[in-house]
């Protein structure tokens, strides 16, 4: 693995996994998403990963028009790298999911590297009361949900977005996804250095055991050598533990309310910035330095 001098913190601000009734701190309106992103950037996040939501119901909304109001504010008020989702929600079609990145041409877009189960329903155990009609069926429906990312889909997204010089956060939820990425590298559709976000703890993907982290890293090292830049995200309660493990091994880290609503056992995070500050404290405690957006652009060779 390539040895970086500084660690990139990404913050995934709202996502499409959690629903508004789960936490009053989940940003939903354009103003909330913008303010939460700017505060996360000020706390040390170099990359802000963004989804949009309907401002009234909080339902994931993948129309480019839903992204423009907060993108404008974020770009005016901070220098953070914007990373737009092409994952959208697992209920959306690939064409729907890629529209914001296609139209708005961000520096980075997420790419989900394989078709998979995406189990949101275990959250029904913890969160039982919902304010909006869509929330319960959204979680329950995931029992029979296929999060579709076929080779054809991946090829389409890669071809169309690369035309805008957008680069990627390759989300790999299991070792097979690393092999899928290797396939596209071999075909010349993905150029080094590429940013690999290994995802731990989503039901349908690999777990959160230290052996899982080691196995993903070893596999990526073997497939990609110095050509990749490694980052991790741990879902739910595993978030900080996974970040600490990977950071100790030279990895970059992602936090944010998309990935976990928590800051401690049974304690909701009050903001994205709280999680950024927490992970920053862990990194600095390990003697590591945090990359600025400009340094992250250089590490990932982004268009700027």
Which residue in the set 85, 86, 198, 239 belongs to the binding site for Zn ion (CB under 5 A)?
85
* Peptide linkage before 301 cis (omega within 30 of 0): no
Coil, strand or helix: which one is 168?
strand
Tell me how far, at minimum, the Cβ of 1 lies from ligand KMH, in Å.
Answer: 22
Tokens coding 160: 């169309």
Which residue, 142 or 288, has its beta carbon nearer to Zn ion?
Answer: 142
When CB distances to ligand KMH are compared, the closest residue is: 87
Tell me how far, at minimum, the Cβ of 285 lies from ligand KMH, in Å.
Answer: 26
Contacts of 271 (CB under 8 A, 6+ apart): 25, 36, 39, 40
Which residues make up the interface to ligand KMH (CB under 6 A)?
12, 15, 17, 85-87, 110, 112, 171, 199, 202, 258
Tell me how far, at minimum, the Cβ of 174 lies from ligand KMH, in Å.
Answer: 12
Strand partners, 169: 110, 195
- What is the x/- site pattern for Zn ion, positions 203-232, by CB under 5 A? ------------------------------
The residue count for binding Zn ion (CB under 5 A) is: 3
- 240 touches, from Zn ion, ligand KMH, none (C-beta below 5 to 8 Å by class): none
Strand 9-12 relative to strand 47-50, pairing: parallel
Which residue, 253 or 288, has its beta carbon nearer to Zn ion?
Answer: 253
Q: Are 229 and 194 in contact (CB under 8 A)?
A: yes
Which residue, 26 or 288, has its beta carbon nearer to ligand KMH?
Answer: 26
- 17 touches, from ligand KMH, Zn ion, none (C-beta below 5 to 8 Å by class): ligand KMH
CA–CA gap between residue 200 and residue 47 (Å, rounded): 19
Tell me how far, at minimum, the Cβ of 86 lies from ligand KMH, in Å.
Answer: 6
- What is the x/- site pattern for Zn ion, positions 7-46, by CB under 5 A? --------x-------------------------------
Task: Using only the alpha carbons of the chain, give its radius of gyration.
Answer: 17
Is the alpha carbon torsion for 73, 78, 84, 85 positive or negative? negative
Which residue, 85 or 239, has its beta carbon nearer to ligand KMH?
Answer: 85
CA–CA gap between residue 160 and residue 156 (Å, rounded): 6
Tell me how far, at minimum, the Cβ of 226 lies from ligand KMH, in Å.
Answer: 25
Which residue, 52 or 290, has its beta carbon nearer to Zn ion?
Answer: 52
Contacts of 191 (CB under 8 A, 6+ apart): none
- 171 touches, from Zn ion, ligand KMH, none (C-beta below 5 to 8 Å by class): ligand KMH
Element (H, E) at 182: helix 175-186
Tell me how far, at minimum, the Cβ of 88 lies from Zn ion, in Å.
Answer: 8
Question: Does position 260 bind Zn ion by CB under 5 A?
Answer: no
Tell me how far, at minimum, the Cβ of 287 lies from ligand KMH, in Å.
Answer: 29
Q: Cα dist. 49→5, 108, 257, 265, 276 in Å?
A: 22, 9, 11, 25, 13
Relative orientation angle of helices 94-104 and 151-162, to the nearest 10 degrees: 10
Residues of this chain that interact with Zn ion (CB under 5 A) are 15, 85, 87
């Amino acid at each position: 693995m390539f040895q970086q001098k500084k660690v990139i913190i990404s913050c995934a601000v709202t996502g499409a996994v959690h629903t508004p009734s789960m936490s009053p701190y989940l940003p939903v309106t354009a103003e909330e998403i913008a303010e939460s992103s700017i505060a996360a950037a000020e706390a040390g996040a170099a990359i802000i990963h963004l989804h949009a939501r309907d401002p009234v119901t909080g339902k994931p909304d993948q129309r480019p028009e839903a992204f423009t109001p907060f993108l404008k504010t974020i770009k005016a008020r901070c220098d953070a790298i914007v990373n737009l989702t092409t994952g959208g929600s697992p209920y959306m079609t690939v064409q729907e999911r890629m529209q914001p990145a296609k139209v708005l041409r961000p520096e980075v877009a997420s790419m989900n590297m394989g078709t998979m189960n995406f189990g949101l329903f275990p959250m029904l155990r913890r969160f039982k009361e919902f304010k909006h009609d869509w929330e319960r069926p959204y979680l329950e429906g995931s029992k029979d949900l296929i999060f579709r990312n076929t080779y054809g889909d991946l090829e389409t997204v890669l071809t169309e977005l690369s035309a805008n010089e957008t680069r990627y956060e390759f989300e790999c939820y299991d070792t097979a996804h690393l092999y899928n990425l290797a396939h596209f590298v071999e075909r010349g559709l993905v150029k080094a250095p590429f940013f690999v976000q290994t995802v731990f703890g989503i039901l349908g993907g690999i777990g959160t055991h230290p052996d899982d982290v080691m196995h993903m890293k070893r596999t990526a090292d073997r497939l990609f050598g110095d050509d990749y830049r490694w980052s991790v995200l741990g879902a739910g309660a595993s978030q900080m533990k996974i970040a600490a493990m990977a950071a100790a091994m030279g990895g970059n880290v992602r936090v944010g309310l998309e990935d976990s609503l928590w800051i401690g056992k049974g304690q909701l995070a009050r903001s994205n910035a709280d999680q950024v500050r927490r992970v920053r404290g862990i990194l600095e405690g390990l003697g590591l330095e945090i990359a600025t957006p400009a340094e992250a652009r250089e590490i990932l060779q982004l268009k700027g």
